Structure 1
């Protein structure tokens, strides 16, 4: 009976579970595993300069994918590109385990970024379409908690694999196998029957939603996204480079994931009580404090806490902006959500 419930394509629980598993593949494995393994790769073959370049390429791939996702109108096309995103996440992961060729690594991070966008942005719109609820944006807070779950689970998994040896290349191959196995469930659940009316689930772009406030909001989120890329890639290495904190970077990154799991739900509840804009400003201010801590002190607890503050805010901000976009765009939250999630 329980197995049958897990295979119900129309259950909100299974839809959210499939969405979170997808995030683990596209965000946890294809994106943030790079952060967890970066200190090991820097000690072996990578330079900080090339690592930064790879992070920038990954962001370009994500940005182009998120912008592309805005113009995908019908649900069947969304599902097709969501599946492409899963495939790209798997391919980009195995490349890092099979070769040390710099050109292939650049291509890998570029495709990983695009694949992440297809999963995080396109998958989120599929989940929204399939959910059976009046206020879907509130439930989506649970979906975005998958980012924290993805960071925590993949990081702990990689720490276990590399406990006694530097097996970063083997880690990428193991992650590929895990991604392939995990992709089966969302491929099955996040699909629709042919009897669904395509016109009923198309999302047209209404130019009226592009108000001055939306434009300012998009620019603000874009700038936050640039800061997010640097911190999300180099946080463990930044803390490891602080005098007296060598080896504590991984612990700080673990707390990023732990803090991120409940953050979107907590911030959504606070937004309901105090207003989305107020909470966005508050979260951005807290994030600034978290990012500055490693530059101001070498205290172990404060630096680990900086990771906690970062995880609590960057994932929460994703949910807050998504929730606000749902309110501002009224009947068409998916298009505006894609615009705001372009970071």
Structure 2
């Protein structure tokens, strides 16, 4: 197993996972992990919510932009740009305390994250020399769980040894340089690839009633993902008797996220994507409501497992189903799904900080979030009535 061979499947998958740790962990999720210490002496909960929202705006714009890049050589170029942006914007957070600089760095980091996850995943899929790539891509997307777990361990090591959250950002950026360098080396091509890019016309017939319901349901999942994805450690720490447990809960999110993609995708293959998406969203609703209904330590730690165990899998389930529904023209439908999810991501932190400000508690924001995700579940049940037999079995 030659991990320095650019054409080795093992090296390609490792490079893909490491790139996700940089793009999703260092540039996005560790912000949530570092939120409690940052709230103590720098951020307010309102500004934290605004920063999360504009980070998702950057990610949304990057995701849409990514669907327009057809040429694989151009994808490699933007993937490289994404890695550099994620590392540079992380250093900025450790060295600056200027609000405007933080705001700009978070939106740029969001764009960089999209280049790594969306464009980088396309490069991984192109490079893999395997006939059936579904299982390999499931392993690749386990990088989202690893991104939470690994960056949380790095943050813990810095703070445990007396470091500050500013120093944690710098150490994370240094880690990002090494992980990113390996990914950049492996996820490139020895020579430019000549490609005949097939141009598909916009096909309005793709947007059936079933697909429209699916897109709206994915918007509600964007909302369901982001509230805990932004505030979970602080939500747990704010509960009576649970101060200090937020960090452990976030570690469990990462651990649960690592195998979740493979498990949910396996179930979808057996029982149909639509049925499994509904089950996963119902499980997620339970996880969201736990922290609003009880301060029991074990149940709240379990809420982290339910969150980590659903959100990664739901992204893979929706995207995989969208790709199957679109057939030879996946870019349009995947772009529409990603846009809907992104709008949910951008809006959720904004209503959350308003409700926290009004009630001095996260409970109301969690109730609203759970309600919105439940609307998504109801829409999917209605969508089943409009689905063909083939669509139900996908």
TM-score exceeds 0.5: yes
Counting only pairs closer than 5 Å after superposition, residues 262-341 of structure 1 correspond to structure 2 as 262-333=259-330, 336-341=333-338
| Cα distance change on mapping 1:165 and 1:318 into 2, 3 Å | same
Does residue 1:132 correspond to 2:129, yes or no? Answer: yes
Aligned partners of 1:338, 1:136: CA distance in 2, in Å? 21
Matched residue, 1:30: 27
Could you tell me the TM-score, scaled by structure 1's length?
A: 0.94
Does residue 1:92 correspond to 2:71, yes or no? Answer: no
Does the residue aligned with 2:10 lie in a helix, a strand or coil? helix
Matched residue, 1:177: 174
| Cα distance change on mapping 1:341 and 1:133 into 2, 3 Å | farther
Shift of 1:334: 5.4
Aligned partners of 1:203, 1:91: CA distance in 2, in Å? 35
Residue by residue, what CA displacement relative to the aligned partner does 1:262-320 show, whole Å, maximum 9, x if unpaired?
00000011011111111111111110110110000010000000000000000111121
Shift of 1:341: 3.9
Aligned length: 339
| Cα distance change on mapping 1:23 and 1:338 into 2, 3 Å | farther
Matched residue, 1:197: 194
Does the residue aligned with 1:199 lie in a helix, a strand or coil? coil
> Structure 1: where are the runs of 5+ without partners?
none
Shift of 1:231: 1.2
Contact 2:15–2:183 under 8 Å retained in 1: yes
Does residue 1:259 correspond to 2:281, yes or no? Answer: no
Contact 1:152–1:257 under 8 Å retained in 2: yes
Could you tell me the TM-score, scaled by structure 2's length?
A: 0.82
Does the residue aligned with 1:134 lie in a helix, a strand or coil? coil
Shift of 1:198: 1.7
- Alpha-carbon RMSD across the aligned residues, in angstroms, is 1.8
- More displaced stretch, 213-222 vs 272-281: 213-222
Does the residue aligned with 2:188 lie in a helix, a strand or coil? coil
Contact 2:72–2:193 under 8 Å retained in 1: no
Contact 2:23–2:112 under 8 Å retained in 1: yes
Contact 2:206–2:326 under 8 Å retained in 1: no
